Structure 1
Amino acid sequence: MMPEVTDGDSAVAPPLVQGRTRHRTRRARVLSAAVLLSLGGCGVLDHGMLGAAGPVADQTRSLFVIVCLILLFVVGPVLLLTPIFAWHYRLSNTKSAYRPQWGFNWPLEGLIWIPPIVIVLILAVFLWRGTHQLDPYKPLASAYPPVEVQVVALDWKWLFIYPDEGIASVNELAFPADRPVHLNLTSGTVMQSFFIPKLAGQIYAMAGMTTQLNLAASEPGHFTGQNTQFNGMGFQNQKFPVLAQAGDDYRAWIARARAGGKMLDMAAYKALSARSVQAEPSRYGAVAPDLFKSILALDDAGAHTAHKEAKR
């Protein structure tokens, strides 16, 4: 008969009791770790497209969820039947040896071909609708005119020009939360990809060309934008804050930019376009007329001098 163990006798507890105690301890640790991991994962949906904070990202998230649910009809049977078949035809189960009788089977052929065809057709319908609804060039419906912003991708920073306000900022995009934003994008260097996960999908910017993107925020907030196209050693630092502000805060932001007094002309742009990582955002209180058009008109040799010299 096993002796009773008290707190004072724990040091001399029988091996079986100690083993059970260690087992319970390990199990408690595993359960605790599982709980912590599950709690830590609760914030996953708040990041990126799944934490949509604007109408464009919200439509993208809805389309993504629908596609995932449809694809469950493909993944589900595979995940369910694979272990069932593996268990049923295991080596030790000699009564269920797999000895196929080759021949044509209409029900089996229908099961193989009809569901995939239906799934592809359903996905095609959603893709057609989503492609037109989420066209990045399509203006967003709003009672207010959009904020016009000209975006220039540089190494390794982003330049934002506000032509209607006559100001510019580096590595900081601000706009009023109650108005949509219309972006014209180009690159002063290699191809880059503009992406604000919580507000809109990514779109490429290329030298000598322009692309457009429309986005909006559902309410004031701070978000993160980035370049998702690798472009050299400073790629990982090419991120910028996105400020969706209340009307008064946005006007105050414009006033602070104008008070800075710096002028952004072609000479200042060429100095800015040198390859560097800018730790803090900066602003220009004035912008030369049609600077964005002048940047587009730069020849390849002038626009890519830094990259060409770096490759030599």
Structure 2
Amino acid sequence: MGTIVIDRFSRLRARPARFLALVALPLLAGCSSDVLNPAGYIAQQQRDIILISTALMLLIIVPVLVLTVAFAWRYRASNKDATYDPHFDHSTALELVIWSAPLLIIIALGALTWWSTHLLDPFRPIEQASATEKVAPNAKTLRIEVVSLDWKWLFIYPDQGIATVNELALPVGVPVRFDMTSTNMMNTFDVPTLAGMIYTMPGMRSQLHAILNRPVETIGFSGNYSGAGFSDMVFKVHGVPAADFQRWVGRVKASPLPLSDSNFAKLVRPSEKVKPIYFSSVAPDLFRRVYERCVEPGKPCMSDMMRHDQAGGGGNPRDMRSGGGMPAGRDTDAIFGTKPKGALQKSPEEKGSSPHLTTPRGSEPPGATNPGSNSNRNMTFNDPRYSPASAGEPVNV
């Protein structure tokens, strides 16, 4: 009787596990396999590198796992036929096998990494449409300017004169060059079926070249946490034939909404779960002004400030180093308005006091917040022409 009860209890415990497995099957069926089944030639090569690297590492992992079980079975306590040698401590032949095999695999992985790093350089223009087909010499590259915002993606098509939010369309078989930047936070542009993950950073321009081999409907997203709306920072990707791409461009051009500077100022404001938006026109030179931080009227561009620096920045090197003589607006790096001053830029008086402040108030020099303060005398200048003893006055050397 006891055996029957135990058997029934075991069956009852097994039922929830079977039920969960059945429930999980439809969920697994919906999983995306973009990484292992890519539609872009760059992503295909990256997939091959993953598979080759995994196979090389398994050459060590599998034999180790098999030998672990084999040794445990061979030299078990009940096996009286196995050799027992408690004084064994070294075998030259065994050491050669143990160290040479991993070393050869590391060399192979290093060579593969070096080769693929140069071959798949995101700044390198596309030369192959597939493993067997080259890009036509007269093929025109599609340019797309990508801007990551809080928390959405802006795509500008400069040659077509249109822009979209959270929707990207690409013609199959056409080389594409992405120029990327960010308005505020660092993000990563990632379309797994197309190419690798590339960072977008404020004040900088990164680049990615890619090409699609077949039509595809998928998504792209950010792989770098950037705040509250990060989880929904997803955009649609349409890989379509060239004729369908032109029809899509026509639909975007039919939108009554222009991407003017004023509309961009509204777009920059943080927002979450943004549905696709079409812009039929784009303000002149908008992308360059975004990454040079000068969209707001009257704010100097980074290139203007660099030219000003090269021209002397007002004459006095010390003034130039502390920002003196720079155009108005140099001290802010926000696209529109100003950003709160960071703690490293604040003086002790501005910081106030709180339990987490470990340095006594008033013991630190104000630094960049007050370049002329006498408290800065105990700081060492990087420029050898300046001596701390002379409070920053030039010294002839």
- Range of TM-score over shorter length: 0.7 to 0.9
Separation in 2, partners of 1:262, 1:35: 48
Q: Between 132-141 and 280-289, report the one with greater CA deviation.
A: 132-141
Q: Which of the residues 60, 63, 67 maps onto 1:74?
A: 60
Q: Which has the higher contact order (CA 8 A, sep 6+)?
A: 1
TM-score by length of 1: 0.82
Q: Which of the residues 101, 105, 112 maps onto 2:98?
A: 112
How many equivalent pairs are there?
Answer: 297
1:303 to partner: Cα distance: 3.1
Q: Which of the residues 6, 31, 51 maps onto 2:37?
A: 51
Q: Which amino acid aligns with 1:133?
A: L
Any stretches of 5+ residues in structure 2 without a counterpart? 128-134, 294-329, 344-350, 352-397
Q: Which residue of 1 aligns with 2:394?
A: none
What's the Cα RMSD here?
A: 3.1
Separation in 1, partners of 2:233, 2:75: 54
Cα distance, 1:27–1:230 mapped onto 2, change above 3 Å: closer
Q: Which residue of 1 aligns with 2:357?
A: none
Q: Which residue of 1 aligns with 2:160?
A: 165
Q: Between 14-23 and 98-107, report the one with greater CA deviation.
A: 14-23
Structure 1 residues 1-312: aligned runs within 5 Å: 46-88=32-74, 93=78, 100-141=86-127, 142-143=135-136, 144-298=139-293, 301-303=333-335, 308=340
Cα distance, 1:184–1:100 mapped onto 2, change above 3 Å: farther
Q: Which amino acid aligns with 1:235?
A: F
1:111 to partner: Cα distance: 1.2
Cα distance, 1:232–1:39 mapped onto 2, change above 3 Å: closer
Separation in 1, partners of 2:9, 2:177: 62
Q: Which amino acid aligns with 1:106?
A: T
Deviations 1:109-131 (A, max 9, x none): 10121101111111122212211
Tell me, yes or no, if the aligned pair for 1:136 and 1:214 is still in contact at 8 Å: yes
**Normalized per residue, which structure has more helix?**
1
TM-score by length of 2: 0.66
Any stretches of 5+ residues in structure 1 without a counterpart? 1-13
Q: Which amino acid aligns with 2:249?
A: I
Q: Which residue of 1 aligns with 2:367?
A: none
Separation in 2, partners of 1:113, 1:199: 39
1:135 to partner: Cα distance: 1.3
Local SS of the residue matching 2:189: strand
Percent of aligned positions with the same letter in both sequences?
34
Tell me, yes or no, if the aligned pair for 1:199 and 1:215 is still in contact at 8 Å: yes
1:301 to partner: Cα distance: 2.6
Tell me, yes or no, if the aligned pair for 2:150 and 2:229 is still in contact at 8 Å: yes
**Normalized per residue, which structure has more strand?**
1
1:88 to partner: Cα distance: 4.9
